[in-house]
Every structure is written in structure tokens, then in C-alpha cells.
Structure 1
Amino acid sequence: MWTGSDRLRLFRADLNEEGSFNEAVKGCDGVFHVATPMEFGAAVEENIVLTQVPLFYEFQESYVQSHIIDPAINGTLNLLRACLESKSVKRVVFTSSISTITAKDSNGEWRPVVDESCQTPIDHVWKTRANGWVYALSKLLTEEAAFRFAIDNGIDLVSVITSTVAGPFLTSNVPSSIQVLLSLLTGDPELFGILSAVNARMGSIALVHIEDICRAHLFLMEHDKAEGRFLGEDLNQAPSEISSKKLRDLGFEYKHGVQNIIHQTVIGCQGKKFLGEDLNQAPSEISSKKLRDLGFEYKHGVQNIIHQTVIGCQGYGFLPPIGS
């Protein structure tokens, strides 16, 4: 067992305070700027997302800009300034999100292949304000500002576009990405709405295991040819394919039949227009070819991802135990 002094040092730092990270990154070769928490149930989301009428748009834009976007951008730039000040940091790896890309072209048609270049237009996010739009907008604008600063100041910045992250977790709460994914089982209307927005934009649900996406971050930090944006995604599935993995095949036997639960939930949410796209096919291939071409290999397939996710959520009490 290693002690904190061997491999871990803790610093007091605040992204909103310029210079706050100077001491933390001093002497470092690489810095990871990791994911933004997704608190979809927070009051800000309720106030902003659920009041989508023209009368409130000006207030919404002002609130989002001042309370979410500006702090996110300023925090990222403060960290990059600290890296620049250090004179030692050789590369920064930034955690982006699949919410920054879209499978549809400018005409609204499905692209055959979706990669890092298929970025969601910022004005489209402002205009449509689909479920989860505040998070998507924040990630888009923050990443844009980060690359602009990096280019202007000669910082080697690499971005990892994470898809829906699942698998085991150590947090005190079930991660939001897992709650969204498992809304196929829980039927939570708000989270199902977010899943619907993802499916409408991407045509499928892209999955990645937490271990694989962490390994991808490390891989890109160390690879001398890593440059620009990389999509971290093991595979993409239509919602019906996720549910039809038949948790029974993974050893699960629910009293009321999980297939029936999923079927009724999906049909009900289609009726309420939570899911409006074809659930039986993925019209676009979401590709992480750029990452694979550098030599990265994924370890976890979809069955393992879902299996570990469900087991973890059962242990936490988020899903009922087998046979209940």
C-alpha cells in the first residue's frame, strides 16, 4: 500500500481563482483537465430547460452565460495559464463530451460515419435547446476556448471526446451518465428525455467502459503523435439493442421480466415522444478510428459494460436485486 507522499499530493485550488493551480502543476509533465459533473436534476436545469418559451429566452441566455459558461471557460483558461506559467507541462489532456458532436449533417441527414470532425454547431444548440443543452453548450464553448488559447500560446492540447461512460463506480451517488443509460430500465421521464435527445442527435447510444476511457486519457498523454480531438467510444448501439442484450443472457432473472419492463417503458416513452427515432437501428457508425489507428485497444465489450453497470447499480440500490 503506497502512502500519499509517494504518489499523491493534495493542493487547495479553485478554478475560478487565477493562479490557484500554479503550485499544483509546478514541475508536472502532463495535466489532465477531466470531466464536468452532470447534475441534470439541479435547480438550474429545471429553471432553464423547462421554461422554453420566447419570453424567457433572454433571461435564460444571460443566466447560462454568467452562471455556467463563463465559469467553465474561465476555470479552464486559469488552468491553462498555470500550465503555461509552469514551463514544465508538455501536454494537457482535456475531457470533452460526445454532446459536442452530431451524426446529422447541415441538411439534417444522417452521416454514414461520425468522427471527431462532426461537431455540433453552437448556434444549433442555442436554437433547439434539447434536453441537456446547457451541458452541451458549456462543453462546446469551453473546448473551443481551450484550443484557441492553446494555439495562441503554444500549448500541446489533446481533447478526448467521451461517449456514454458506464461500468463500475466508486462515487457516493450513481453517476449521471449511468442514470441516463439505465433510464431504459427505470423509466425516469427526465433522464429518458436526455437519452432521447442523444438518440435523436446521434441515431444511437455510444458506450464506453470507465476503465477504457481512463486508459485512453493516459494513452493520449503519452503518445508522441497524439494531436487534436479523439473520439473515445467502444461501440454504438440502438436503444433496442441495448435492451435486447437480454440481461437474462447475463444471468439476470427478474420476477416481472426485464424484457417486458423495457418493452413497455420504451413504447410508453415513444408515445410521449421521449423517444421519437427508430429504436431498432443505428443509422450512423460512430467511429473512434483515429484513436485505434494510434494503437489503442478497448478491453470491454457491450455485454461486459452493461453487466458491470447493472451489478454496481444493484449493489448501490439503484436497481432492484435479482429475483425481486
Structure 2
Amino acid sequence: MEDGGESCKSAPAIDEATTYCVTGATGYVGSWLVKALLLKGCKVHATVRNIEKASYLIPKWKNEERLKIFKADLHDEGSFDEALQNCDGVFHVAASMEFNINKDQANVESYVQSNIIDPAIKGTLNLLKSCKRSKSVKRVILTSSISTITAKDSNGNWKPVVDESCQVSVDHVWNTRASGWVYVLSKLLTEEAAFKFANENSLDLVSVITTTVAGPFLTSTLPSSVRVLLSPITNDPELFPILKAVNARMGSIGLVHIEDICNAHIFLMEHPNSKGRYLCCTQNCHLSRLVELLAQSCPCPCPSTTINWSDDGGRVIPSIISSKKLKDLGFEYKHGVETVINQSIKFCKECGYLP
């Protein structure tokens, strides 16, 4: 995957005069990012598909004098033009969260392509076209996913270190269709199309490859990534296989705190030398170790702790999921794995999602 094209505009510096647009503002990362930017003194244009859903978050965001909410739909070209007026940068966080499709074998490929992948690509390109038309946007930060990365080489051998270059093969995803494969394809192909458009149109685009994001949340519903993380103790029949599929592809589970992932987005928006893709992972651990940590933090019935992990190939030392490129720019993480897990469980108990 190619890096974003060179831009004649320099990256914006964070100050009180800076205005940013955040797409998908009612989602987990988007809502926290809006809050983080407002706390920094920035003006924020938050885009949502449903204005009513934002009403729950407005009291949590506070600083309403610096916040404007716009209704916009990625499927409608030009829908973001108004929201991008006078914006210095755009955080494109909005994305489909389809993991699997229950369609018959004969039609599944055409269904996924036409109903999920094509709309996801079109939506991102619609936004980037609005950015190109804008006279003020200097940089776009795209939220990507660890689902676009693999820890195995072309021969199926484990790599000692995993970085931004370790991209999963589209053909492999189509052929294997491991749990969560629809989401993997959507993120992979959308990011590819975004960088292609950016290169062809001299648009400054940077992507953040997120690992499993968890910790506190502002949304009224439990975020998907937190549900996936907690699936070993909730024994969720849909999401626990996704966690296992990630572990099988990566040899471990990478984690990052919600505050750190949002800080990384802002850091890359601000840094004059950020370019291309940046993997954001506080630390990674094998799934068996993750289950132990979850059970220690939440001493309740945990069926998954009895699972035989021999299907993971007997891997003892997982590949290092490296954030070297991000750290080399000067970024520092605030929260470790134990904090991510403990805060996730504590918050879910307080909100009644866990007993």
C-alpha cells in the first residue's frame, strides 16, 4: 500500500484557532476524539448520520461553544462539504462494523463486494473529494485497523517483528474467510483506495492502524472492540471467534487504550513529518495470557479459560507488534495492557454491562 501524496500545504499545529472535522463522531473512537480535541481548545465539526444519537454525547463533550454538529452521510457525495468549511484537518473515523455475512456460498462474494466493500470505498472517496474541494483542509487522518496486518510471511512462518509493511493478502482473506473476514476486506480495500486517491490528487493522507481499542467509553452502547476484548469472559458466540481469528493471524492480541489511540491521531495530525501508515499498539500478548488477565480482573465464571490453545500452533513467544515508526516521531504511550483491561472491566461493571 502506498503512502499519501505530497501536499503543498503544511500540517496544522494544534492551537485554539485550529478547527477539525471528526467523522463518525458518535462511535467509540470518534466520540472520545471529539472530547480530546475540545479539551485541547480546538474547534470541532462533528459529523453524524443521526443527529438524535449525538444528543446523548453533547453533555459529555461539553465546550459546546466550540462544537458544531453536522448531519452527513458517506454515501452521498458532497454531504461533507459544509462540515469541512474552514477546517484545518479531518479525522476520518467512521467505518462499517460488519464482521461476518451469513450468505450462501454461491452468492457471498458478489454480495460482500456490492453491499459492503463498494459502499465503504465509495464513502471514503466521497469524503476525500470533499477534502480536495475544501480550500482549508491540510491533512486527513484515516483510522485503519490491525485487521489489515498479518504476522505470517508468504510461507506461513511467523515473523519476529510485525510493522506497517506486513499487510495481509486480499486473496488470502477471500480464500480463507476466517471469522471477521468481511471487516478485514472492508478496511484493507478502503485504505488502499484512499491512498491511491490521495497520491493521484496530492492530498496529504496519514493512516493510523489501530490494534484492539479498549478502556472507558462515552457511547450509550458497549463498543464493538470492547465487546471483542471481553468475549472470553462473556463467552460471546459471535465475537470470541473473532478474537481467536486475530490471535491465529497475529500470534497474539495487540491492545491500545482509547486515550492513547486518540492522542496518536492528534499527534500524527500535528507532526510535520508524519507520512503513510502508523501502527499503534501499546503491547501485545498471546490470547491465553489475555484470558488469564481478564479472569484475574473479573473473577466471575469464565468458560474460555478452559479452552485448549493447542490450535494456536504451540506458539510461546508471540511476534512483536511494533510501534517503532510512531515512537520514532516522538509519540509516547500512557497506559499499559493491565490498565487497558482493568479500566475496561471496571467501566463495564459501573455501566451494568458486567456483573
| Structure 1 pair 287–102 and aligned structure 2 pair: CA distance change class (3 A) | same
In structure 2, what is the equivalent of residue 12 of structure 1?
71
1:310 aligns with 2:342: no
TM-score of the pair, normalised by structure 2:
0.79
In structure 2, what is the equivalent of residue 301 of structure 1?
336
TM-score of the pair, normalised by structure 1:
0.86
In structure 1, what is the equivalent of residue 143 of structure 2?
95
Measured against aligned partners, the alpha-carbon deviations of 1:126-178 in whole angstroms (never above 9, x if no partner) come to 11100000000000000000000000000000000000001011212211111
1:292 partner letter: K
How far apart are residue 279 of structure 1 and its match?
7.3
How far apart are residue 66 of structure 1 and its match?
1.2
How far apart are residue 179 of structure 1 and its match?
1.2
Higher share of residues assigned helix:
1
1:133 partner letter: W
How far apart are residue 103 of structure 1 and its match?
0.2
Deviates more, 1:26-35 or 1:220-229: 26-35
Instruction: Give distance in 1, aligned partners of 2:317 and 2:229.
Output: 16
In structure 2, what is the equivalent of residue 47 of structure 1?
102
| Structure 1 pair 103–29 and aligned structure 2 pair: CA distance change class (3 A) | same
How far apart are residue 307 of structure 1 and its match?
0.7
Measured against aligned partners, the alpha-carbon deviations of 1:42-91 in whole angstroms (never above 9, x if no partner) come to xxx3524xx5xxxx24x111111111111111110010000000121110
Instruction: Give distance in 1, aligned partners of 2:180 and 2:291.
Output: 22
How far apart are residue 3 of structure 1 and its match?
4.8
* Count of matched residue positions in the alignment of Structure 1 and Structure 2: 295
SS at match of 1:189: coil
| Structure 1 pair 234–102 and aligned structure 2 pair: CA distance change class (3 A) | same
1:267 aligns with 2:318: no
- 2:292–2:305 CA contact under 8 A, matched in 1: no
1:205 aligns with 2:240: no
1:70 aligns with 2:118: yes
Alignment of 1:106-125 (within 5 A): 106-125=154-173
| Structure 1 pair 133–32 and aligned structure 2 pair: CA distance change class (3 A) | same
Task: Specify every segment of 5 or more residues in structure 2 that has no aligned partner in the other structure, as ranges.
Answer: 1-60
SS at match of 1:182: helix
Deviates more, 1:17-26 or 1:110-119: 17-26
SS at match of 1:276: helix
1:201 partner letter: R
Percent identity of paired positions between Structure 1 and Structure 2: 62
| RMSD of Structure 2 on Structure 1 (CA) | 1.9
From 183, 195, 199, the counterpart of 2:243:
195
How far apart are residue 313 of structure 1 and its match?
1.4
Instruction: Give distance in 2, aligned partners of 1:172 and 1:37.
Output: 18
Task: Specify every segment of 5 or more residues in structure 1 that has no aligned partner in the other structure, as ranges.
Answer: none
How far apart are residue 316 of structure 1 and its match?
2.5
1:232 partner letter: C
How far apart are residue 27 of structure 1 and its match?
1.6
How far apart are residue 278 of structure 1 and its match?
5.1
